[in-house]
């Protein structure tokens, strides 16, 4: 397995997923890097989609272990990390900060499983791949995901009613 090619393809989405999941930069980097170290050190081989599932599953389990204590997880989710980047006006900065806070609080209101499913879906995983990571039946993913997304959307302040 080519180290650089695999790293370039896998690390950015993996650390983004871990960060969305935890709300904590250090925890996200730790989990994503630990998963990649295990991948390379254990010489895990396979087609790219299978490797991706393996990495996300490993990182998800690392994060579950780390945040098994609920209070610890809550404390980290409530962290409000600083976003580096180009300077922006105070109004836009405030707006972005509020958007971020609202999204984080909405995620916090989901169960661990709902949060993991939702974030994996928005990383482009198929329902079957999500089922593999979350350990649910593939046929249940659509219903569970719909519920998770609806709850997240409602927590954001949107109406959950279908037309």
44 binds another protein (CB under 8 A): no
* Residue 134 makes contact with another protein by CB under 8 A: no
Nearest CA to 52 among 113, 126, 139?
126
Rounded Cα–Cα distance for residues 56 and 17 (Å): 8
From the list 1, 5, 9, 36, which residue makes contact with another protein (rule: CB under 8 A)?
36
Say whether residue 72 binds another protein (CB under 8 A). yes
> Pick from 1, 42, 46, 111: which binds another protein (CB under 8 A)?
42
- What would the two tokens of residue 130 be? 């999500």
The torsion angles phi and psi of 128, rounded to 5 degrees, stand at: -65, -40
Q: What is the contact mask toward another protein in residues 92 to 131, using x (rule: CB under 8 A)?
A: ----x--xx-xxx-xx----------xx-xx---xx----
**Is there a contact between 117 and 145 (Cβ–Cβ < 8 Å)?**
yes
Q: Binder to another protein among 9, 11, 108, 136 (CB under 8 A)?
A: 11
Q: Is 68 left (phi over 0), alpha (psi -120 to 50) or beta?
A: alpha
Which residues neighbour 56 within 8 Å (Cβ) at sequence distance 6 or greater?
Answer: 14, 17, 35, 120, 123, 125, 133
| 38 near another protein, rule: CB under 8 A | yes
Q: Give the N- to C-terminal CA distance of the chain in Å, as an integer.
A: 48
Name the residues that contact another protein, by CB under 8 A. 3-4, 7-8, 11-12, 15-16, 19-20, 23, 25-26, 29-30, 32-34, 36-38, 40-42, 62, 65-66, 68-69, 72, 81, 83-85, 96, 99-100, 102-104, 106-107, 118-119, 121-122, 126-127, 142-147, 149-150, 152-153, 156, 158, 162-163
């Amino acid at each position: 397995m080519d180290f650089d090619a695999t790293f370039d393809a896998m690390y950015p989405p993996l650390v983004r997923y871990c960060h969305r999941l935890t709300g904590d930069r250090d925890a996200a980097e730790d989990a994503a890097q630990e998963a990649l170290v295990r991948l390379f050190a254990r010489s895990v081989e396979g087609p790219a989609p299978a490797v991706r599932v393996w990495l996300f599953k490993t990182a998800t389990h690392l994060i579950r272990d780390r945040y098994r204590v609920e209070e610890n997880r809550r404390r980290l989710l409530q962290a409000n990390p600083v976003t580096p980047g180009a300077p922006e006006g105070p109004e836009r900065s405030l707006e972005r900060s509020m958007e971020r806070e609202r999204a984080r609080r909405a995620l916090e209101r989901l169960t661990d499983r709902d949060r993991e499913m939702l974030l994996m879906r928005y990383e482009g995983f198929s329902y079957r791949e999500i089922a593999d990571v979350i350990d649910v039946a593939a046929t249940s993913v659509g219903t569970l995901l719909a519920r998770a997304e609806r709850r997240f959307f409602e927590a954001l302040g949107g109406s959950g009613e279908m037309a």
